[in-house]
Structure 1
Amino acid sequence: MTADSKSKKRAPKAKLATTEGGGTVVFSFRVSPDIADKWNQKIEASGYNKSEFFRRAVIDNKTQVVEYSNHAQQAIYHLAKIGNNFNQVARILHTANLDGKLSEEMLERAVDYLSRLTESVERLADRAR
């Protein structure tokens, strides 16, 4: 393996699309349908196409990048894991309800409790940020 092939393997995941005037790099990622709807509304209101909208959003962005302490990163990681566990419990509860092993009333109470726990975890994560 040559030094060139090693460096190519470490390159960021972006597709190279050639155009007449030279090359461009395509970035792609996934978002939820809700976020896509919100973005599409903003894009339409801006009068720009998607590419120009995101170019301007990134270049003109006033967001400040903050480096978290190691403890804050660990706290956020563990809080995210707790949130994942809540989602797993909710799935199990819904399955038990569908199988007739859990009443509708108990399901509602449990899901309500999980929702309140999730909100608490989200508030903790916001504080850690």
Structure 2
Amino acid sequence: MFTGYAPKHMLCAKGCPFGTPARCAELHWVRSFITGLVLSELLTTMTEKAKKKRTEKPTTAKLTRLVSFRLAESDHAAYLQKVEASGRKPSAFFRECVLTNKTQVIARHKASVEKERLIFIFNKTSNNLNQLAYRANAEYRAGIISGSTYTRILDALETLAHEMKDVIRNAD
């Protein structure tokens, strides 16, 4: 490949860029010819590089799906230690662990339909319990109810919450 360039002017002492006018015309033709060769060579190499770029496709699939999860501080520190020990980026480390099955998955026991229904109802009920506790607190601070009434209401609400949790634990 020709790596040089064709000079635009070859100055000489007489003022004509290439010496005599006849020599000037001859060298002008040579300069044009060389410039054409250089440009054609450049275009050829550029198109070859462009073809290589277009035809060479990556062998791996594009990573388009995002997977994320949350960790406690202590678990995150342990995760980062393992990532650092592997010498990989966190996403590459996690991908390798999951896809090469280096993990041990412990499946959770699926709740029965009755237990799921109980949880749904108790979630609704716990919202009502919170509203009752808020109202009791507001009325106690306003002086509408006495301290003993206030503590009895809170004790009853706590007892209801514990009973609901026991029912859910013993549902299955």
Give TM-score, length-normalised by structure 1.
0.55
Shift of 1:76: 1.9
Taking the aligned partners of 2:149 and 2:76, their CA distance within structure 1 comes to 43
Taking the aligned partners of 1:26 and 1:123, their CA distance within structure 2 comes to 35
Gaps of 5+ in 1: 1-20, 30-35
Query: Which one has a larger percent strand, Structure 1 or Structure 2?
Result: 1
1:76–1:128 Cα contact (<8 Å) kept? no
Q: Which has the higher contact order (CA 8 A, sep 6+)?
A: 1
Shift of 1:27: 3.6
> Would the alpha carbon gap of residues 47 and 69 (structure 1) be closer, same or farther in structure 2, given more than 3 Å must change?
closer
Taking the aligned partners of 1:107 and 1:61, their CA distance within structure 2 comes to 50
For residue 113 of structure 1, give the secondary structure of its aligned residue in structure 2: helix
The structure with more radius of gyration: 2
Taking the aligned partners of 1:27 and 1:62, their CA distance within structure 2 comes to 17
Regions of 4+ moved over 6 Å: none
1:97–1:103 Cα contact (<8 Å) kept? yes
Give TM-score, length-normalised by structure 2.
0.43
> Would the alpha carbon gap of residues 61 and 78 (structure 1) be closer, same or farther in structure 2, given more than 3 Å must change?
farther
Gaps of 5+ in 2: 1-61, 82-89
> Would the alpha carbon gap of residues 105 and 89 (structure 1) be closer, same or farther in structure 2, given more than 3 Å must change?
same
Residue in structure 2 matched with residue 82 of structure 1 by the alignment: 125
Taking the aligned partners of 2:151 and 2:75, their CA distance within structure 1 comes to 36
After superposition, where does 1:23-34 map in structure 2 within 5 Å? Answer: 23=64, 25=66, 27=68
Aligned residue pairs, count: 97
